[in-house]
Structure 1
Amino acid sequence: MALLRDGELEGYRLERPYRPDGVGDILRGRIAAAMPALAGAFVALPDGETGFLPEGDVEGRRLPPEGTYLTLRVTRAAQGGKGKRLTARIPQTPGEGVLERGPDAALRWALAHPQAIVLADDAAEVARLRRALAGSSRIRQAAAFDEALEDETARLHDASWSLPGGGCLIFSPLPALTAVDVDSGGADLRETNRIAIAEFARQLRLRDLAGPILLDLAGLSVKQRTALEPELRAALAHDGPTQLLGIGPLGLFELRRARIHPPLHEVLADRSLTAGLALLRRAARESAVAPSRRLALHAPAAVIAALESMPEALAEFAEGAGRPIELRVAGQEDVTDA
């Protein structure tokens, strides 16, 4: 999903409907283990996972006894072995399992921007959004991603982002933090850093980076970097999840950005699945142009196995194309051939 304002890319989410992050889901869970030292409790969830319920997210801030069933809402996606974050501050209703799925990015953005035109290239998606938005006429079936938008969003999958006039931003996500380096590439330092600050703020949103973030500007003394802090604060002013903490002793800007959904680099962590789904999307576009053409997808064994692990995606392709796609194991050099 892409959010555009006056033709400029303002938001981007890559979501896999058959592997949702669960944020916004309403479900029933059982208190499995109270953890006073963590000021909360671990909760057994319907999908076999374990979530965490802080005591501050329970009415009266008192956790019920172990074994108690509660109606819960997922407020944050799982992260690096840590379960989903939960709240019990919602109406307690009977039922079992997942009672209601949370909205995806397309629906969240459509609700947040009630004047926006919503384009979807799939008839079923158009129908889904119209049902969710009470038949709104602003939902239209059309090519949602043209070639330019495909190229721009594909660039977000790379660790570096080129800057106009030279230089680039380099993103290095680590388990504990994300480091972002500005490489001037020999261009003027002051101008490159000013351009980098504006683009850095945009990339935070597009990549949905979260947790501790360090920004290392190109060159400049600590005093010169400090002089650019107002520009950085202004660039981040409309990004609610981000808090600029200032410059640390190493001369790096320190930020903290709230995590709700998985950042883009986590969604893309399974490289075989990412490559396979990209090939499947390409095959779907080719099938739409030439419906009578039979397609075979050639890819390394790991990519084929990843696609086979998501049969719903293959079934969706077959429904749209009118026939299944043939999967063939090939050498690594064929990973981009469909």
Structure 2
Amino acid sequence: MRILASVSPGEVRVALLRGERLEEVWVERPARPDGVGDLHRARVTALAPAMAGAFLALAGGETGFLPESEAGPVRQPIAQSVQEGLVLPVRVTRAPQGGKGARVSARLTQAEQARAAAAPPGNTPTLLTRGPEATLRLGRAHQGAEVVTDGAGLAARLRAALGAARVTYSPRPVFDEALEAEFDLVAGPEVSLPGGGRILIHPTPALVALDVDAGSAAGTRDPEAQRRVNEAAVAEAARQIRLRQLAGPILLDLAGMTQKRRATLAEPLAQALAPDRLARLLGLGPLGLFEILRQRIHPPLHEVLAGPLTPGLAALRQAVREAAARPGRRLALRAAPALLAALEALPGALAEAAEAAGQPLQLRPDPTRSWAQWTIEDASHGG
């Protein structure tokens, strides 16, 4: 097992690999953490007995929801656990989603209780400590895994937490071309299957649909052709669910096959999902769709990567690479105004790019481009 963490302006991308096989993908923007694991001093603002919980005010004007099952060591009606105006320490257990606030818990570890007790007293909602970043979470979950990063600051933090022997700092980028290509594929809406066919991935606000396209196998006379495609799809679907952090209700529609034949793939699908502790197979529904439920903790990858910020950060990575290849060259980023605005709104991203490149990157808005289009130019050529 290896954990590779690629640090670039405004972003940290993390890969968990077993041999050369990519098993987990994480993309984090340190200036905008998802909040999972954060320890807050929060204030109860409203009880919601009908929802079996209470709403809390968190630091930064955010709202959290405390289920009554997480309000104390013993579950009891929420009104018997907390009262409006009560200030208490809580840990964020699930990131905000769909316009709803974070899910929190008041059931803390002894170490968390000690940190909360050591904080200066007060009634104002306060962030006491940040939760662990993805590289640290993976390092703790996979004790035997080697950790390699090209970020000096990240390497120092990880050595302090995991031990110097486990963490290697690389002065060169830790992602090679093959891994960069895999990250690009995981961000896309489809994945090819070995032997032909593909899986189309359609996230919606209510659920995620995975549709298997048999491709050329759909027109063959080989009765086992579709089964082979679907067997491959079952394994790859489970892998993609974990890679992309898909969550909530997930429906898998295999290619062709009768309901009876589809049922024979239930056990292989359950086995493929087994390593993912957050996912479970509910069964094969009456419409012939496999129904999977995966617990949501962190935002799924398609939410993290949505919008113009993602291509903007890719542009900063490219600018830093070009600056390293030709030191002293003045560079400019030509892109849609929405892309440039997204970079300017992310605290620290442009400053980090300027530090890595040795000088600021000129920004050249081009309204004729879509928000995903950008080019790195020689700034000496003017604008």
Aligned length: 337
Moved more, 195-204 or 310-319: 310-319
Match of 2:20 in 1: 7
SS in structure 2 opposite 1:71? strand
Say which SS state the counterpart of residue 337 (structure 1) adopts.
strand
* Structure 2 portions without partners, runs of 5+: 1-13, 218-224, 377-383
Task: Describe the SS at the equivalent of 1:261.
Answer: coil
Offset, 1:288: 2.4
Matched residue type, 1:73? R
Check the 8 A contact 1:117/1:140 in 2, yes or no. Answer: no
Instruction: Give the alignment's Cα RMSD to 1 decimal.
Output: 1.5
Once the 2 structures are TM-superposed, how far is the Cα of residue 283 of structure 1 from its aligned partner?
1.4
Q: 1:75 corresponds to which residue?
A: 93
Q: Distance in 2 between matches of 1:63 and 1:241?
A: 28
Q: How does 1:290-301 map to 2 (within 5 A)?
A: 290-301=326-337
Opposite residue 243 of structure 1, the aligned amino acid is R
CA positional deviation for 1:55? 1.1
Larger radius of gyration: 2
1:116/1:138 contact within 8 Å kept:
no
Pick the aligned partner of 1:135 from 143, 148, 164: 164
Identity %, equivalent residues: 54
Q: 1:238 aligns with which of 254, 275, 279?
A: 275
Give 3-state SS (helix, strand or coil) of 2:338's partner. helix
Q: Which of 161, 183, 196 in structure 1 is aligned with 2:213?
A: 183
- 1:102 and 2:102 equivalent? no
Q: CA deviation at 1:42?
A: 0.5
Normalised TM-score (structure 2): 0.85
Alpha-carbon contact 1:40-1:63 (below 8 Å) kept: no
Question: What residue in structure 2 maps to residue 85 of structure 1?
Answer: 103
Q: Aligned equivalents of 2:86 and 2:327: distance in 1?
A: 54
Query: What corresponds to 1:304 in structure 2?
Result: 340
- Any residues of structure 2 matched to 1:15-26 within 5 Å, and which? 15-26=28-39
Equivalent residues of 1:32, 1:67 under 8 A apart: yes
**Judging changes above 3 Å, is the alpha-carbon distance between structure 1 residues 137 and 251 closer, same or farther for their aligned structure 2 residues?**
closer
2:193 to 155, 159, 163: 163
**CA distance in 2: counterparts of 1:259 and 1:311, whole angstroms:** 27
Residue 255 of structure 2: aligned partner: 218
Query: What secondary structure, in the 3-state scheme, does the structure 1 residue paired with 2:363 have?
Result: strand
Instruction: Give the 4+ runs in structure 1 shifted more than 4 A.
Output: none
Distance 2:46 2:215 in 1: 53
1:267 corresponds to 2:304: yes
TM-score, normalisation: structure 1: 0.96
Partner in structure 2 of residue 318 of structure 1: 354
Residues 1:255 and 2:305 are matched in the alignment: no
Alpha-carbon displacement from aligned partner over 1:35-85 (angstroms, at most 9, x marks no partner)? 010010000011111110011111243332101111010000000111000
Displacement of 1:251 in angstroms is 0.4
